[in-house]
Chain A
Amino acid sequence: MLDVAYVAGFSDPGAASQMVFRLLLDGMASPGSILTIPDLGGVHPPALDYATAGIILAIADPETPVWFSDAFRTDVVSKWLRFHSGAPAAAEPSEGTFAVTRGTDADGVLGRFAIGDDRYPDRSATVLVSCASLAGGDPVVLTGPGIPAPRTVAPSALRDGFWKEAKANHARFPLGVDLIFVSGASFFCLPRSTNISAEGAF
């Protein structure tokens, strides 16, 4: 049987990375817009969403430690990460340039990740939040850069208080983490610049 950790991550890594990156750039430039990564060949650990695997392969490398929440930190995932991206696994959430967690994971609380410092707010984590679905949850309304008219998103399921954490994250702007909500092959971005409002979700 093929070991998932070692078979091709992308069938054409250069072209696939470029395509995933451009989707990601579109996503960051248009918070809340749902985008889908097409089938780019290759195999990924089944525990990870296809979008998570694609994003990590596209932009992580030996210079960017990746932190996984307990739910994802398996032997296969660690080997896969190391072999395909060369990225080290971060031991602490605060050390991850990227973090991969489920929206329900208690160890993925947003306050645990690097938020940058006043002079270098870019030295902050990008957190991939895996959701059961990008719809069907409590709706929140997004406004801010990249959003011409208020946009509603409703990912499910998220831990209690998640939107409170996200709102606190935005309140620290320009410090803060940038979020990518993933489910299967789809994702949307929620950079720190996005203002979040909702009724009932908090």
Chain B
Amino acid sequence: MAAKTLTIDGKEVSAAEGATILEAASDAGITLPTLCHLEGVYDVGACRMCLVEIAGTPKLLPACTTQVSEGMNVTTTSERLQQYRKMILELLFAERNHVCAVCVANGHCELQTLAYRQGMDHVRYDYCFPKWDVDITHPLYGMDHNRCILCTRCVRVCWHIEGAGTKNVAGRGAKAQIITDLFQPWGESDTCTNCGKCVMSCPTGALFYRGATVGEMERDRSKLEFIVTAREKKQWIP
């Protein structure tokens, strides 16, 4: 496969053809903020946190779904990008009911960590305060839609690592939500294998072990990567 040479933040890097800007940046030691990206499953460009500037293109593009090309000049950090990232975070917080202080993921939440890192000190938009339910019909796990950012990590791990296809997305726009099977309570799902990969993948407190209390949800993502590596490369590296 031909290698492509490009510039990221003034640094000359080379990446394999078909690689994404996110992969190329990561290989070059440049970290981009991400939320929907998860090692082991394909990217969907849902959260827009990894937006970058590409010389010659007026619009911002997500690094996780944009492939590298020869001579590309990418900027990952600029005032404009910072403003947009902060805005995206504020919109995420305003859209649902994220109450860190009493959340099971407090202290271990990717959304919270990013908000700290990006310097989100307040939210400029009116909170929507939508009414969402908590589904704790499953004997082991719970899903709180109030804390969901629709990154679809859970859907992707369910379909493409576990292969059960239990988790899906239903609805459009602000009414979009993660569902189980054909929109039934999780505890009544015929397909769920109780594997818990979705819980491990969740970046916020939306998916949790039943009975977890404040700050108790810590995720172990290495197991997901372990399975993918074992399956694709036939290497069992814990």
Same assembly: no
Interface residues of B (CB under 8 A from A): none
Interface residues of A (CB under 8 A from B): none
